[in-house]
Structure 1
Amino acid sequence: MDRPLQGNGSSQRCCSYRTLKSWLPILSWLPEYKLKYLQMDLLAGLTVGLTTVPQALAYAEVAGLPVQYGLYSAFMGGFIYTLLGTSKDVTLGPTAIMSLLCFSVVGEEPQRAVLLSLLCGVIQATMALLRLGFLLDFISYPVIKGFTCAAAVTIGFGQVKNILGIQDVPHQFFLEVYYTFHKIPEARVGDVVLGLVCLALLITLMLMKSHPGSENRSVGSRFARKLVWTVATMRNALVVVAATIVAYSWEAYGHHVFTLTGHTAQGLPAFSPPPTSDTTSNGTIVSFKEIVEDFGGGLAVIPLMGLLESIAIAKAFASQNNYRIDANQELLAIGVTNIMGSFVSAYPVTGSFGRTAVNSQTGVCTPAGGVITSVIVLLSLAFLMPAFYYIPKASLAAVIICAVAPMVDYRVVIEMWRIHRLDLLPFLATFLLSFWQVQYGIIGGVAVSGALLLYTMARPKIKVSDHGVLVMELGNGLSFPAVEHLNHIIHSQALQTIPARSVVLDCHHVSIIDYTVISELRDLMRHFKLKKVKLMFSGLQPSILKVLLKADLEGFSYADSLEEALLMESVSLLSDEDPK
């Protein structure tokens, strides 16, 4: 019987059902789906859907786009994530941070926002296929916190003009602050009153949800708590609907008291490829290459921040609910969502912390809850768009302000000051630069974090102690940036003293070494020989010892422990003093 080709095993593994399940996680949970799961997923999907619709409309305002683009961006994620996602809780859609980033890159141009979604999706999916998720590890926690705090302040203050009902305020943050205060006399009383009432209602409902009251086991008490929780969870939808009814009532009597959202495109978006060119107001055609050049650093920042936000949320809820996620599969899910979203006029999306929390708290069992949410968004697009005309901008502004307010986390500054003050440098760099340009804030924060990391590598801690001979304990890895610092310490404290002194290098913390270090050690050992003193190594890990032995350093000597090295050195000193 002929033997099978060796490649068949590899091909079978590549095309096996197990491999298919790793690429399509739905195949893992769908065969075990139960009626109970369906009930919980329907409830969660409905609840999240009623939260998503008003938030999507509001976030489109932050992105500088017509409000329907928020809904265009809110439904594709539910379908794609059900197929590709590995978290039962995560919901993909427009968020405050991604909306702000989108506005900073494309301004108020919907066509470019849609093309940006396609390009971001391609970058994210490519990163997933190449397993490049580790790149997110280079964005430190202080940078993330600095960015989210600055974004929350920028987004929140950007909505003050809608609360006041004033027009023609620039979008650049510092100019926005100036002109908002400058135009306060132009504020419309109706918008101010409605906006403040909406804010008060939202804050009250939020506090009621976080403080449900005493635990009482009676049926009436449990029902009351459940009712309060439901109303508080759907607070955004309820407040926007109530504000819309109020605005419609005034408009019906001919009183234009509030600033309204205005006309929106009705119906579902056409399924078509995003435009790869643009036409300016004077008829000039802008090519794809020129558009990409205009995007600039946004093409790096937006995909990375989208991935970072989504994966951080997925990991947080996976830990909370005792399951695991696949980070690279999450990258693929969000990348494919942005690619497919661009075909229905969506701008870049990511995981939403607020809506994911609602999803989890409602008891969702599988990612299928996202399908229900997406259906609600589609129904809103199909049938409710005429009603969105009467949504007051002040009510949407109140929704956004309440959504981003918890992102301003002042406690993290206190913790960094108490635990590790140097971390305040990347935090402050990110926070302050983000008010100038969001991209510059992230890039600046990463640069400062990188500089601190490189400084740590270039200036490792070296503990010097005197045991008859000098003992120098290296605090961490020994790589080429640290060579000059080590050289300076050894020369100043051992070779340039009178008389010169022998040195034991305690290397039990050293786990890496490179050729530059070997070259410098060779030179140091030559200087020690000229001074007629010794350089000895102790506590070398096997991998480091192997490299040093291969280097064949002249006069190289080592001991397994510091105590053994000191004993060998003391014996050597005694033999040197022997008159024989």
Structure 2
Amino acid sequence: MEPLVDRPGPQIGRSSLGERMASCCSYRTLQAWLPILTWLPKYRLSWLQMDLIAGLTVGLTTVPQALAYAEVAGLPVQYGLYSAFMGGFIYTFLGTSKDVTLGPTAIMSLLCASYVGGDPVRAVLLSLICGTIQTAMALLRLGFLLDFISFPVIKGFTCAAAVTIGFGQVKNVLGLKDIPHEFFLQVYYTFYRIPETRIGDVVLGLLCLCLLVTLQWMKSTLEPPSEQNAFLTRAAHMRNALVVVAATFVAFSWNAFGSPVFTITGKTSQGLPPFRAPPLFETTPNGTSISFGEIIEVSDRPIGIQSCHIEDGISQKSSSQNDYRINANQELFAIGLTNIMGSFVSAYPVTGSFGRTAVNSQTGVCTPAGGIVTGVVVLLSLAFLMPAFYYIPKASLAAVIICAVAPLVDYRVVMQFWRIQLDLVPFLITFLLSFWEVQYGIVGGVVVSGLMLLYNVARPSIKVCDHGVLVMELDSGLSFPSTEYLNTVLYTQALQASPPRSVVLDCHHVNTVDYTVVNELRDLLRQFKLRGVGLIFSGLQVLTD
């Protein structure tokens, strides 16, 4: 092997290896793996106040949402809080965005519900599996795979998930019980059993919805915040906590007077979750033992993990609004490690949250350290407030979920897809199939997007002009799927013409050619020569070693 520069080969080999080893062990590399080392030495005391305020605000938003999302996942409400604190601590050390918050989300809870069937053991094990695969992808630098999930697929999935989650909470607003989880059966039985509606739940649910919408409207009209409206702005940011606390007080008061007119959350486990290894087997109530292999056979696990990656990509893109770039692989590593460690405290899978990330940013967080404050708020709630959660009305949690997922139904982007017909196809496929099964919607959208991408590769645009000889201009690279199409165009336009025509193939825009294309062009040159006409290549780029 020849040396890369004008020095003896063995010395260069040792030098390159030494430089690489030194680079791997450098402080800069350590900063890449532990981003906290980048911002912590520059930390200012003035940032502490902003991080405390933001962390407290997000924490008061996280607690009611976590309780509500556990309901979506079909798990006891305490599992929402078990899943809500680990992300804040780990992301402080490993995250590359000051705004992103990790925790339970509506969409991830919906995915978990379809996989674990309300079984906490399987939910915790799913967290371990998701985290392991995400961490492995990050270590192998496979974050670029997120780029292959197109925006129409993401929007189709999130819109369908928002509709599914939102309508799934109508039963709690109406006070109905024993409604099936499947979307179409859910719609049918919700309307069929409307006569069984509990008036107390309806009134309280509608009041909570009106109050949440009013506070949300106040937040949008009071921006940017000022000293005069600071209190109202804070109240608007903490609207979920305020509404749930008020509804809980109302429910407690009615129960104290012996008039339980609301459907309440009921008994919850009190205290912090034990730190223990996630269970690798499960024992059913009748004493039957289910092995690890049998547990992970539930549904299509890799598809759920792929959906988790979609939400990771969405949360990363949301931070671009704050004028900084983040590292996709490092974000994936942070989320993966959060899910792994979360499985040791009985958490189900988590990811980045749209709403809480926006709250974090709007309240002026300066560093990821705000996540520590959020985590402490959740831990304090687990330690001291669980008895009070007994009286939380399910209608109030349903109102929180409906208001949280409503912004995900973005009708404006659908109108944009309507103008770009090609984007409308994967969006509709994903949107419609997601009502059947969310994983089918994701797979369907990704497959359709992939086929459209492959079609563009296999059918490159060829502009044909007649200047005495045919001039054919290619607008992209040539690869093996496009050989048959190129062959057909040249044959029909030139060789099958009477008389045969010479062709100038303009390759100014061609920067990639594979062996299959070269072999096909060699055969075409022979065919042109046999017919006494020429095939000339213009603008070919010279390949260098």
TM range (shorter): over 0.9
The aligned residue for residue 233 of structure 2 is 229
Residue 456 of structure 2 corresponds to residue 456 of structure 1: yes
Cα deviation digits, residues 85-128 of structure 1 (max 9, x gap): 11111110000111111111111111100000011001011111
**Partner Cα separation in structure 1 for residue 187 and residue 135 of structure 2:** 38
**Partner Cα separation in structure 1 for residue 492 and residue 226 of structure 2:** 74
- Given that residues 307 and 442 in structure 2 are in contact (C-alpha distance below 8 angstroms), is that contact kept between their aligned partners in structure 1? no
Instruction: State which drifts further: 36-45 or 443-452.
Output: 36-45
Query: Structure 2 matches for 1:212-361, cutoff 5 A?
Result: 212=222, 222-296=226-300, 298=301, 300-317=302-319, 319-361=320-362
The aligned residue for residue 49 of structure 1 is 59
- What letter is aligned with 1:447? V
- Given that residues 52 and 373 in structure 2 are in contact (C-alpha distance below 8 angstroms), is that contact kept between their aligned partners in structure 1? yes
**Partner Cα separation in structure 2 for residue 499 and residue 476 of structure 1:** 29
- What letter is aligned with 2:346? S
The aligned residue for residue 134 of structure 1 is 144
Query: Structure 2 matches for 1:37-186, cutoff 5 A?
Result: 37-186=47-196
The aligned residue for residue 537 of structure 1 is 537
**Partner Cα separation in structure 2 for residue 310 and residue 328 of structure 1:** 10
The aligned residue for residue 218 of structure 2 is 208
Q: Secondary structure at the match of 1:464?
A: strand
Deviation at 1:222, TM superposition (A): 4.4
Kindly tell me: are residues 235 and 541 of structure 1, through their superposed partners in 2, closer, same or farther at Cα, counting changes over 3 Å?
A: same
- Given that residues 307 and 334 in structure 1 are in contact (C-alpha distance below 8 angstroms), is that contact kept between their aligned partners in structure 2? no
- What letter is aligned with 1:417? W
* RMSD over equivalenced CA pairs, Å: 1.7
- What letter is aligned with 2:271? G
The aligned residue for residue 415 of structure 2 is 414
**Partner Cα separation in structure 2 for residue 206 and residue 509 of structure 1:** 51
**Partner Cα separation in structure 2 for residue 440 and residue 127 of structure 1:** 23
Larger Rg: 1
Deviation at 1:425, TM superposition (A): 0.7
**Partner Cα separation in structure 2 for residue 473 and residue 293 of structure 1:** 52
List gaps (5 residues or longer) in structure 2: 1-10
**Partner Cα separation in structure 1 for residue 44 and residue 471 of structure 2:** 67
Q: Secondary structure at the match of 1:389?
A: helix
Residue 440 of structure 2 corresponds to residue 430 of structure 1: no
Cα deviation digits, residues 261-310 of structure 1 (max 9, x gap): 000000000000111112334433221112222242x3x23333333323
Cα deviation digits, residues 135-181 of structure 1 (max 9, x gap): 11110000000000000000000000000000110000000000000
Kindly tell me: are residues 315 and 435 of structure 1, through their superposed partners in 2, closer, same or farther at Cα, counting changes over 3 Å?
A: closer
Q: Secondary structure at the match of 1:505?
A: strand
Query: Structure 2 matches for 1:409-558, cutoff 5 A?
Result: 409-418=410-419, 420-543=420-543
Cα deviation digits, residues 182-214 of structure 1 (max 9, x gap): 01000000000000000000001101111128x
The aligned residue for residue 5 of structure 2 is none
Residue 37 of structure 2 corresponds to residue 27 of structure 1: yes
Q: Secondary structure at the match of 1:542?
A: coil
- Given that residues 311 and 330 in structure 1 are in contact (C-alpha distance below 8 angstroms), is that contact kept between their aligned partners in structure 2? no
**Partner Cα separation in structure 2 for residue 242 and residue 517 of structure 1:** 70
- Given that residues 136 and 304 in structure 1 are in contact (C-alpha distance below 8 angstroms), is that contact kept between their aligned partners in structure 2? no
Instruction: State which drifts further: 442-451 or 472-481.
Output: 472-481
**Partner Cα separation in structure 1 for residue 401 and residue 260 of structure 2:** 24
- What letter is aligned with 2:170? V
List gaps (5 residues or longer) in structure 1: 216-220, 548-580
Matching residue within 182, 190, 199 for 1:189: 199
- Given that residues 88 and 102 in structure 2 are in contact (C-alpha distance below 8 angstroms), is that contact kept between their aligned partners in structure 1? yes
**Partner Cα separation in structure 1 for residue 153 and residue 317 of structure 2:** 18
- Given that residues 106 and 112 in structure 1 are in contact (C-alpha distance below 8 angstroms), is that contact kept between their aligned partners in structure 2? yes
* Matched pairs, number: 532
- What letter is aligned with 1:303? I
**Partner Cα separation in structure 2 for residue 538 and residue 11 of structure 1:** 46
**Partner Cα separation in structure 2 for residue 129 and residue 302 of structure 1:** 20
**Partner Cα separation in structure 1 for residue 256 and residue 246 of structure 2:** 15
Q: Secondary structure at the match of 2:391?
A: coil
TM-score, scaled to structure 2: 0.95
**Partner Cα separation in structure 1 for residue 258 and residue 201 of structure 2:** 16
Instruction: State which drifts further: 102-111 or 444-453.
Output: 102-111
Deviation at 1:382, TM superposition (A): 0.3
Deviation at 1:8, TM superposition (A): 5.6
- Given that residues 78 and 370 in structure 1 are in contact (C-alpha distance below 8 angstroms), is that contact kept between their aligned partners in structure 2? yes
